[in-house]
Amino acid sequence: MKAITLLLLLLFPFPLYAEFPTGSEILKKIDENLVADQAESLTTMIVHGRAQSRTITSRAWIRGSDEAFVEYLSPAREAGKKMLKLGDKIWTYTPEPNDRIIAISGHLLRQSVMGSDLSYEDITENHRMLDLYDAVVEGEDNLDDRQCYVVKLSGKIRGLAYDSRKIWVDKQRFLPLKEERFAKSGKLLKTTRITEVFQIGERWYPKRMTFKDMLSKGKGTEYIIESIDFNVKIPEHRMTKAALRK
């Protein structure tokens, strides 16, 4: 047996199997793709309800993990509505005839945004996954002709919207092409799929995603990044409550 092993080492002076990167290494690469110091984006959200679909467009500004501002552009009945995130609170603004600002915090941040499959936390998420989760690589899989690492995430801080996740990470692009998000009880809360990607500089970024709230009877929500700018300069007044009524 020793002679056979020695012969193999002489003939093949490289590992006989590929080592997986660690879970932390994978999360670090995902964060490098997805997390931005600041960004401005134009998005389209298609909500597939039980009877009909609705299309909503918006422009969003994100700065770090604690600041976000969203302005809805269409359809007409949604145009002018805005949303501001500062820390762990969100304020929503509805223009005339209501002209009111409502504060949202705590468990209410997990409610649906405009009847979609995305919550307020989903819409404004810009946290580094490496800061929130411990990761273990469970194996590999083929998804849509892309080789993926299968990674189990376990929350390492309290109060997370999703206590654990299972993600299928593209081995080349390091994007989570498929995801299952779970409650602390183990109940499946939401699934996501990245169905189209694009490259911006050295980043790979989702172009089109599908979200499905497993507690909802709808048919899912498509979320499309029409454009995104990571080099934008966001003025200080943008991230203020005064900007909601401007």
pLDDT over threshold 80, residue 19? no
DSSP string computed for the chain:
-HHHHHHHHHH--S-SSPPPPPHHHHHHHHHHHH--SEEEEEEEEEEE-SS-EEEEEEEEEEETTTEEEEEEEESTTTTT-EEEEETTEEEEEE-TTT-EEEEEEGGGGGSBSTTSS-BHHHHH----HHHHEEEEEEEEEEETTEEEEEEEEEE-STT-SSSEEEEEEETTT--EEEEEEE-TTS-EEEEEEEEEEEEETTEEEEEEEEEEETTS-S--EEEEEEEEESS----GGGGSGGGGG-
State the CATH class of domain 23-245.
mainly beta
pTM of the complete model beyond 0.75: yes
Q: pLDDT, tens digit, for every residue of 26-37? A: 999 999 999 999
Q: pLDDT, tens digit, for every residue of 144-168? A: 999 999 999 999 999 999 999 999 9
Q: Delimit the domains of the chain by residue range.
A: 23-245
Q: pLDDT, tens digit, for every residue of 63-102? A: 999 999 999 999 999 999 999 999 999 999 999 888 899 9
Q: What is the mean pLDDT of the chain?
A: 92
What's the token pair of residue 53? 């679909």
